[in-house]
Copies of this chain bind each other. A is one copy, B any other.
Amino acid sequence: MAKQDKTDFVTEITPRSQDFSRWYLDVVRRAQLADYSPVKGCMVIRPYGYAMWELLQQALDRRIKATGHLNAYFPLFIPNSLLTKEAEHVEGFSPQVAYVTHAGGEELEEKLVVRPTSEAIIGTMYANWVQSWRDLPILINQWANVVRWEKKTYPFLRTTEFLWQEGHTAHETEAEAEAETRMILDMYAETCESVLAMPVVKGRKTDSEKFAGALRTYSIEALMGDGRALQAGTSHNLGQNFAKAFDITFQARDKSVQHVWGTSWGVTTRLIGGLIMTHGDDSGLVLPPAIAPYQIVIVPIGRENWRETVLPRAKELQQELMAADLRVTIDERDERPGWKFAEWELRGVPLRLEIGPKDIEKSAVMIARRDTREKQSIPMAGLATALRDLLNTVQRTMLERARQFREDHTTRVTDYAAFKDAMEGRPGFIIAPWCGNADCEAQIKTDTQATIRNMPLDGAAPAEPCIRCHAPAMAEAWFAKSY
């Protein structure tokens, strides 16, 4: 990899309208969110991108703990014999796994799988930990790295190694497991909307799209700026499949020996990719304040002596705002203000605070919003409160705008010709009746590249017949081309 010139990071990025995919890669590299690594399919998450992940982790971890879950840590390696215990699970994952075959100078007796997900190792432990209904529920989450060998990778959205959280729970009854699965789905949706300002559609996956080994998979699906959908999180009701494979039994209240009911659920670093593609524009990133590593960047303006005339007051303001728990940086570099403006726009900082000699005279600062590009002068008196309010407004506005975009790109059709027309170009979601048949689902994909993202959690079967085969419909499915 050749050394890049530093100015690379502030040169033009490809316009979204010209090439969305190229635009995305440009933003990821030039905003220094991630970089390619010497390991095929693995990326380096750079500090600016990692800070976003940390903020998301904190927000989600609080919610995970508030609902009674505890964090733990299970081994990276899974003996191959354990992975193969659940038949569908191994079939789903084995093409994607990486194997450790040699270690400590020797060939291993049994090869080890680098975890693609941890049901097998965690199920094995739960079998030891659960004896009685009094030991249930077990509500455990882990933050970890996982590895799935991918043919085609894309920063954040699909990488060989990625970071995630995976919750694994065990329950006494089927109803409890289902309630847990749905509660987590709601938590994911709320987190995406409150923190990432990314609206999502909650629903159930079809059988062909469900997790390998699950009874039912639920997902949240977001709509990206190019009209393609992104699976943003999944929550699985595992039924008793893994309990039977790993012999996780307990003595029930009636003294009978039963298998536990399981769930698992996860969101990953892919959410950072979703965030970029939901809000970004031709100038680069646009970050919702809740996930912005810096919510405010202070750019001192002035003549050559700005370090003497402006910088001290700018630093006082930074201290004042940081004391009010705002995340603030100050750009002291020897560059033109215009150059700094462009760089911080590229990096998506929600508010730019400009301060020059005239602002100081007036005891005010100039504030520019990244999302709307509106500028306004705000008095220094009560600045922290005013900016906190403005950040809340930005957060709310961004969610509303993303909701509006999704509504503008969601169509309900009952005619297959109209369906195929709508799926050309940048279609968004299409809601259409579907018969429930996997072959029909596959044929629609072949015809249009669209897959069923998910189906409504509740609601009666639609009156109209299946969009393609005209058999009676089972559900109003949400179709889209997807990442």
A102 within 8 A of B: yes
A140 within 8 A of B: yes
Contact B132 A6 (CB under 8 A): yes
A429 within 8 A of B: no
A19→B436 CA distance, assembly (Å): 64
Q: Which residue of B lies closest to A101 (CB)?
A: B101
Contact B101 A96 (CB under 8 A): no
Known contacts A46-B72, A51-B71, A97-B103; A3 and B131 CB within 8 A of each other: yes
Contact A99 B101 (CB under 8 A): yes
A382 within 8 A of B: no
A50 within 8 A of B: yes
Q: Which of A127-155 contact B (CB under 8 A)?
A: 127-129, 131-132, 135, 140, 144-145, 147, 149-151
Residues of chain B within 8 A (CB-CB) of A51 are: 70-71
Stretch at the interface among A77-85, A202-210, A416-424: A77-85
Mask, A65-101, CB within 8 Å of B = 1, is 0000011111111110010000000000001111111
Q: Which of A43-60 contact B (CB under 8 A)?
A: 43-47, 50-51, 53-54
A256 within 8 A of B: no
Residues of chain B within 8 A (CB-CB) of A114 are: 76, 100, 114
Known contacts A35-B125, A121-B37; A73 and B103 CB within 8 A of each other: no
Residues of chain B within 8 A (CB-CB) of A381 are: none
Nearest chain B CB to A354's CB is how many angstroms away? 24
Residues of chain B within 8 A (CB-CB) of A95 are: 104-105
A444 within 8 A of B: no
Contact A161 B75 (CB under 8 A): yes
Contact A151 B73 (CB under 8 A): no
A-B contact pairs, 24 of them (CB 8 A): A1-B128, A3-B128, A6-B131, A37-B124, A39-B75, A39-B77, A39-B112, A42-B75, A42-B76, A47-B72, A50-B70, A50-B73, A73-B163, A76-B145, A76-B147, A77-B161, A95-B104, A99-B100, A99-B101, A99-B102, A101-B101, A101-B102, A104-B149, A144-B145
* Nearest 8 interchain pairs by C-beta: A104-B149, A47-B70, A98-B103, A42-B75, A45-B73, A99-B102, A103-B149, A39-B75
List chain A positions with a Cβ less than 8 A from chain B.
1, 3-6, 35, 37-39, 42-47, 50-51, 53-54, 70-79, 82, 95-105, 111-112, 114, 121, 124-125, 127-129, 131-132, 135, 140, 144-145, 147, 149-151, 161, 163
